Chains A and B, each alone.
Chain A
Amino acid sequence: MRADRGGLGGLGELVAGVPPLLASHLALVLVALAIAVALGLPLAVALARRPHLAGPVLTVAGAIQTVPGLALLALMVPIIAATHGLGLGLSSFGFAPAAIALTLYALLPILRNAITGLAGVDAATIEAARGMGMAPGQVLRLVELPLAAPVIAAGIRTASVWTVGAATLATPIGQPCLGNYIFAGLQTRNWTMLLVGVVAAAALALALDAILAATEHAVSRRPRGNVAIPGAVFAILAVVILGVLPRWSAPAAGPAAATHAAADAAGHPLVTQVRIGAKTFTEQYILAELLRARLEQRGVAVEVVESLGSSVVFEALRHGDLDAYVDYSGTLWTTQLARDRGAPSWQILAEVEGYLGREHVRSLGPLGFQNAYALAVRRETSIRLGLRGLGDLTSHGGTLALGADYEFLSRREWTAVRTAYGLGFRRTVSFDPALLYEAVARGEVDVISAFSSDGRIAAYDLVVLDDPAAALPSYDAMILLGPRVAEDARVVCALAPLRGALPVALVRRANYQVDHDHVAPRAAAAWLLAQAAITETCDAPAPARP
């Protein structure tokens, strides 16, 4: 499914982009609900007969429920990656981890209501049923389940509404859903897009609830209460969903199958569709569109999977769930190589590229700009306190408030810079990166963790503080290729010429166009491509010769 964000401008185009997102959102929710019901009802029946076990199990389910949805979804990625050795064939990216996390999420209301409903069936009625000669299974099927059905159904409805909401958080782990509009809308400050996503999700939740309520009503009106009917309805629904599922999840579930479609002259199989990843900020959306444009010029089909979590995207590339994205040397230096202090730019690049080679990830070299972590202040603050470098914050930090994105305060860069300059602030606040620059410009905080390529540094007239001790690592942007396309001449020919072609001034302006002028990332990418000095290294547009 294409996450097509080409036309951000019009509401009409936004709405036109909803159906595919809605479809994959719904598929995700229904699969998670179906599995949760299939697991939860038998478990509830077993637990209703063993009340001493019901308490502990409900406590565990309740504890899972208290894990924030975003964290639960993100947690599934390493957990599923850890099962790769077991040969389950589950992708740790996209549909599978999202569906499993949402299943766990949906389990509590289903379990709790089913146990409550079964426990609430009149003991005398059950005894009468046994006394007339029903076997235990018949008592369950003909008496207990029908009588508990309204309470059980209410639990399923609660779970469905929760799951629709939580499924919007599947975007960062690579599952397209209505969350794509919410994440991208928030990052690019496109409030219309954000609202369309939110309204669509709310409408889906209400519609699903209404359908379930109507089903429940129709079933309960039947003169002969029998769980065979709702059971059959659900089974049919599950079969239909699982039948059409592969169409939606094909890129995640079967990359290998798609690979055999064609092969180049050298005998390398050709990937029919290249999957490009983007993390959750404006520059990444633009760069993903830029890679898309270069590949499409050469006739390569592209799918962009956007708003991915920072740790998810590298894992996905390494496992072949993604084929290309732009990462930053300093990010890999700190997260993958676990280095806790800065180093000269060339050293970081060299060590990171060595690491990538060992992981069978191909680097096409630096693009020519850095998007480094930096601390920035208002010009007025800089002048008033005489702040030029991070060292000047040592004495003034106690009077200032620091605003940082969610990650920064727990990253090694922060530890390094704090130790190197002995920093301490009056208070620290976490913000969504989209809101950071405005927060400092309005004076809500005095210092922010900024990104050196962000167009808003210039737009809000902020001053980036020098880092004479080189405590912060450098963040050279670089294109990474996954194992499926690392040797694919079409891909390499399309993307390798971008090496060194993107100076930071151009990238800042492109970022600013999206963040401030609400230009679509695709249009900003086109502008950036037109401005960049690109020297083609292979014959375009034909594939490479033998």
Chain B
Amino acid sequence: MIELADVSKRYDRAGAAWAVQHATFTVAAGELVALLGESGSGKTTVMKMINRLIDPDEGTVKVAGRDVRTEDPVALRRTIGYVIQQAGLLPHISVGDNIAMVPRLLGWARGDIDRRVDELLALVGLAPAVYRARFPDQLSGGQRQRVGVARALAARSKVLLLDEPFGALDPITRVALQAELRRIHRELALTTIIVTHDMVEALTLADRVVVMCAGEVRQIATPRALLAAPADDYVARLVDVVRAQSAELHALAAAERADAR
């Protein structure tokens, strides 16, 4: 569904620093892939090259078998759902108008748009009658993120790109939204890429994880394969951190159980 072949990008033409170098991976239809890395690792650049917010210097990106460079970028973006941190909602228009924006740009009939807005609000767990007319600043962070997902899916996109969507949320809301995302992803058979720096989020949410560091793809594997066989030192250190945290939590829980007896 999404194929990156030997994709490279550098922002500073004169300098030698590559933001992304020789990135190659595919995402199958209906798959949920996490792009994992620290800030500056190139993961967001990779995502933006899929919907042509950034064009690569080398290599090809294909969506649904077609080279994105042959597509009109505006038309392409309307077929790909895109959610960013803080949702990127337009602050001056209502929730309903935010969700309706892309269908309106595509010239849908008014009645279809209204039905679609309510359908999507219901899908992301917000009562349409209550939230349709609200403005973004009247929502909590989690609600805003739900609206962001609803807006990204409004034009029946089959591809969903999420850039650190849950980064700014409190842990309880984050876990709830992660579960929601998984449900929606399955229900609509979406092809989804989520950019994250959170190892636990990547491991618990994704079908496969693409680990990036300093512009390079270090490993592409399922969460279990990643834990079992880190490809290099960097990935191994990431795995060690998660294992160590997990062990501490287990120890803590065991001690608490012992005290309870």
Contact = CB atoms under 8 A, between A and B. Distances in A.
Interface of A: 124-125, 127-135, 138, 142-143, 146-147, 223-225
B94 A223 contact: yes
B93 A131 contact: no
A125 B79 CA distance: 19
B255 interface: no
A143 B90 CA distance: 7
B199 to A, nearest CB: 25
B187 to A, nearest CB: 22
Given A124-B84, A131-B51, A225-B92, 7 more contacts: A132-B152, A133-B74, A133-B75, A134-B101, A134-B105, A143-B90, A223-B97
Contact of B90 (A128, A133, A223): A128
B242 interface: no
Contact of B105 (A128, A133, A224): A133
Contacts of A224: 93-94, 97
Interface string B61-78: 000000000000011111
B86 interface: yes
Interface in B74-107: 74-79, 82, 84-94, 97, 101-102, 105
A128, A129, A135, A143 — most chain B CB neighbours (10 Å): A128
Contact of A132 (B93, B101, B133): B101
Contacts of A124: 84-86, 88
Given A146-B92, A224-B94, A130 B53 contact: yes
Contacts of A131: 51, 53, 77, 82, 84, 88
B116 interface: no
B43 interface: no
A143 B98 CA distance: 11
B208 interface: no
Nearest to B74: A135
A224 B100 CA distance: 12
A132 B151 contact: yes
Given A133-B78, A133-B102, A128 B94 contact: no
A268 to B, nearest CB: 65
Nearest to A132: B102
B103 to A, nearest CB: 11
Contacts of B101: 132, 134, 142
A314 B139 CA distance: 69
A225 B75 CA distance: 24
Nearest to B148: A128
A128 B200 CA distance: 26
A124 B86 CA distance: 9
Contacts of B133: 223
Contacts of B90: 125, 128-129, 142-143
Main secondary structure of the interface of A (DSSP, over half): helix
Nearest to A130: B53
Contacts of A146: 92
Contacts of A128: 82, 84, 87-90
Nearest to B81: A132
A183 B178 CA distance: 74
A464 to B, nearest CB: 71
| 9 closest A-B pairs by CB | A128-B88, A133-B78, A133-B77, A131-B82, A225-B92, A135-B74, A146-B92, A132-B102, A133-B74
Contacts of A138: 105
Contacts of B74: 133-135
A132 B91 CA distance: 15
A133 B152 CA distance: 10
Contacts of B105: 133-134, 138
Given A133-B77, A224-B97, A147 B84 contact: no
A131 B76 CA distance: 10
A422 B94 CA distance: 80
Most B CB contacts (10 A, CB to CB) among A124, A132, A135, A224 go to A132
Contacts of B76: 133
Nearest to A225: B92
Nearest to B98: A132
Given A128-B84, A135-B74, A147 B92 contact: yes
A252 to B, nearest CB: 44
A128 B151 CA distance: 11
A128 B145 CA distance: 13
A223 B136 CA distance: 12
Contacts of B84: 124, 127-128, 131
A224 B96 CA distance: 10
A379 B82 CA distance: 90
Nearest to B154: A132
A128 B88 CA distance: 5
Contacts of B75: 133
A453 B35 CA distance: 92
Interface string B106-131: 00000000000000000000000000
Contacts of B89: 128
Nearest to B78: A133
Nearest to B89: A128
Given A124-B86, A124-B88, A130 B77 contact: yes
A134 B133 CA distance: 22
A377 to B, nearest CB: 70
A417 to B, nearest CB: 68
B195 to A, nearest CB: 13
Contacts of B78: 132-133
A53 B102 CA distance: 34
21 contacts: A124-B84, A125-B88, A125-B90, A127-B84, A128-B82, A131-B53, A131-B82, A131-B84, A132-B78, A132-B82, A132-B101, A133-B79, A133-B105, A134-B74, A134-B101, A223-B93, A223-B97, A223-B133, A224-B93, A224-B94, A225-B92
A217 to B, nearest CB: 15
Given A131-B82, A138-B105, A225 B77 contact: no
Give the interface centre of A130, A138, A147 by most chain B CB atoms within 10 Å: A130
A223 B74 CA distance: 26
A129 B76 CA distance: 14
Given A133-B74, A133-B77, A127 B94 contact: no
A129 B93 CA distance: 13
Contacts of A127: 53, 84, 88
Nearest to B88: A128
Given A133-B74, A133-B77, A147 B53 contact: no
- Of the listed residues B86, B92, B151, the one surrounded by the most CB atoms of chain A closer than 10 A to its CB is B92
A123 B41 CA distance: 21
A146 B91 CA distance: 10
A223 B97 CA distance: 9
